[in-house]
């Protein structure tokens, strides 16, 4: 009975810690869903993390559809940065799908910002998470746009992920 209770309460405690805007212990990234969502594990506890402050091109939910331009590249790039690596997560609460909204750090780099700098994500245009500062994200996006990195090379053909979700 006691071990069953621990298995239930431990994940809730970890999510509560991450939700309180603190850097938690190291987690291993075991899956990259797309360019802004990963699965992490620590001591057999799994948490899904949505990279706060960014919005990456949408991958397709259909097998034969490639999804939004640059979505597959964004997923592969993020995987190259974090998959099977130890990361630290600074949490900013949970989203409506109960994913932890987090900044991920690996090898002393803010991975969320690295995605924007590579032109493989834009700064999130919705309401910012409580306590989250968007300034460096907006500045990094402006630089990526100016240099036509990644998805910004599409020019007028670029569609924001939020608009893509509405039409697909």
The residues that are catalytic are 50, 58, 99
The strand ranges marked E within the chain are 27-32, 37-42, 45-51, 54-55, 86-94, 100-106, 109-110, 122-123
The Cα–Cα gap between 57 and 43 comes to 31
Q: Coil, strand or helix: which one is 35?
A: coil
**With contact defined as beta carbons under 8 Å apart, do 91 and 22 qualify?**
yes
């Amino acid at each position: 009975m006691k071990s069953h209770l621990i298995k239930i309460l431990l994940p809730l405690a970890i999510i509560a810690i991450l939700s309180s805007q603190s850097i938690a212990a190291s987690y291993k990234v075991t899956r990259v869903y797309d360019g802004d969502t990963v699965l992490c594990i620590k001591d057999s506890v799994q948490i899904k993390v949505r990279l706060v402050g960014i919005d990456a091109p949408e991958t397709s939910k259909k097998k034969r559809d490639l999804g939004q331009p640059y979505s597959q590249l964004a997923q592969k790039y993020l995987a190259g940065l974090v998959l099977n690596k130890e990361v630290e997560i600074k949490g900013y609460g949970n989203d409506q799908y109960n994913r932890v909204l987090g900044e991920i750090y690996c090898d002393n780099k803010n991975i969320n910002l690295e995605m924007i700098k590579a032109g493989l994500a834009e700064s999130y245009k919705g309401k910012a998470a409580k306590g989250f500062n968007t300034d460096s994200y907006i500045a990094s996006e402006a630089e990526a746009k100016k240099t036509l990195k990644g998805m910004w090379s599409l020019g007028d053909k670029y569609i924001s992920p939020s608009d893509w979700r509405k039409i697909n």
